[in-house]
Amino acid sequence: MGAKEEIDAACRLPAPGPRLFWLDVMKGFSILWIVVFHFFSTYDPGRYPWPLTFSNLIPFARDAGAGSMLGFAAAVLEGLLAGFIQRGPHPVGVFIVLSGFGLTYSLARTGHPQGGWGTWYKKRLLRLFPLYWVAHAVAIFSPLAHRYDPLDHRLLLSLLGQRMYPAETVFYYLVPAWWFVGLLVQLYLVFPVLFMLLKRFGPVRFFVVSVLFTVATRVLLYAVLEVSGNYMQGAFFGGRLWEFSAGMVLAWLYRKHPGAVEDGFFSRRNLLVGVALYVAGIASYQPNLLCVLNDGLVAMGLFILMAQAVRRAACIFPALGSGLTTVGVYSYGLYLLHQPYVATFGPLLSSSNFWVFSLLGSAVVLAITVLSILAEKLVNRFTTSLLDRSSAAPAAP
């Protein structure tokens, strides 16, 4: 069954299987939002209020519109698009929720990994590191890739996925977006314990404890220890456990009660919940203790809003859903490989006006997306052959 047929079938009724199309569509939309944000960040942010909000949109449009109605309307549209793109860091929280969902969804039916946790770790590491190492080679040796940092002792730490300590120097090393790999390494390490606690406590108590642990961790890091904000962002997994556990709980419930979860999660009432959570998350971006709540609230709210939006859009426009599904399935490669190139090509286009920059930038993003998908397919083929060989090897006497 092709991607379009899968979307058509999923739009008619819930049918849990190995993959859920709307999750892959969310991954595709989220990673493209992040890529566009990184590209747009090279386009001289000083041209726009940062962040651009409804409160400063009209003054911006009035100044940029050159006094004509048409110019004013074009400036409003430009401001709305710029303001949306500026929220590019927000989908990172959605990816954390999706990570918890993906790891749990495959295990919730049986309650344990096939072949044991040793096999589970082998598959996770082969999924995570080979393409990550290829991305290092690209960032170091490609003549078109922008180099953010010199090659020093941190390179070995980065290759090992150790982007946690000291967070002030290793978190953003070589390619800033790769901090997320360090967070994934930590979450993979603790996932068996988290999964055991989910089964023992049940989804409600597990989620409440996870949220309390996250809030307590962030208060400790922010207000007591007063360490780098990188630790809250992901250098220590406890600062993002809220989002990850939300994905775990949703996957657990979805496996157990797919119809009820679909009816509730994609209801209009839950859409209002998503709006409320996202607005509360935005409001909590304050230079005080409220900031410990922002990532969790934003991630949960945006996850709900994005899930509802992309599911409806994919059902109405199957071709769009099919394209985003493909990007979502291979989002890891695009995440790893895009930033060194947008950092190179973005400044070359920065003298253009917004619309020319957007048009040419879209072509660059499309090229990077296609090449990263091809690279991920090749690496996946190699790692799959390694797994097949290891599983076919005779047991030692």
Report how far apart, in Å, the C-alpha atoms of 184 and of each of 28, 188, 190 are: 19, 6, 10
Interior angle at CA 217, CA 193 and CA 306, nearest 5: 75
pLDDT in tens, 223-276: 999 999 999 999 999 999 999 999 999 999 999 898 898 889 999 999 999 999
pLDDT in tens, 173-203: 999 999 999 999 999 999 999 999 999 999 9
State the maximum Cα–Cα separation within the chain, in Å, rounded to a whole number: 84
Alpha-carbon gap, residue 309 to 297, rounded angstroms: 18
**φ/ψ of residue 294, rounded to 5:** -65, -45
Give the pTM.
0.92
Stretch 20-41: mean pLDDT: 94
Range in 31-45, 76-90, 322-336, 381-395 with the lowest mean pLDDT: 381-395
The owner of tokens 């890739």 is 145
Report how far apart, in Å, the C-alpha atoms of 303 and of each of 117, 205, 270, 300 are: 29, 21, 11, 5
395 falls in which pLDDT band (50, 70, 90)? very low
Contact present, 335 and 177 (Cβ < 8 Å)? yes
pLDDT in tens, 206-216: 999 999 999 99
